[in-house]
Amino acid sequence: MSSISPTIWHHNRYSAEAECEHCGGIVRHEPWCITSNSVVYYAYQIVVDASALTLLDRLSLHSLGVTWDAPACSGGYKNC
């Protein structure tokens, strides 16, 4: 009779719930993720909330004829 070795199960301690809602990263964030890149975070903020736009950026956009008033989406990231 041959001995049967017990099966070794690999356990991944990371789950789908642990992933970042912005980049999908589980172990580390992507370089373009808003949680690790301040420029991308600023761009995200001004899309969600127009009042987050700096005065310099507001003047630059105004000189180009752009009005940045109304939020592009209401309710934040999940509802866009």
Which pLDDT tens digit goes with each residue over 37-62? Answer: 888 889 888 888 888 999 999 999 99
Quick one: pLDDT band at residue 4, thresholds 50, 70, 90?
low
| 8 domain-assigned | no
Radius of gyration of the chain (CA): 22
Q: What is the pLDDT of residue 55?
A: 93
Q: What is the pLDDT of residue 20?
A: 82
Contact between 34 and 42 (Cβ < 8 Å): no
| 67 domain-assigned | yes
| 41 domain-assigned | yes
Structural domain for 47, as ranges: 34-79
| pTM of the full structure | 0.56
Residue 2 has pLDDT above 70, yes or no: no
| 23 domain-assigned | no
Contacts for 73 with CB less than 8 Å, ≥ 6 apart: 47, 48, 79, 80
Q: What is the pLDDT of residue 30?
A: 82
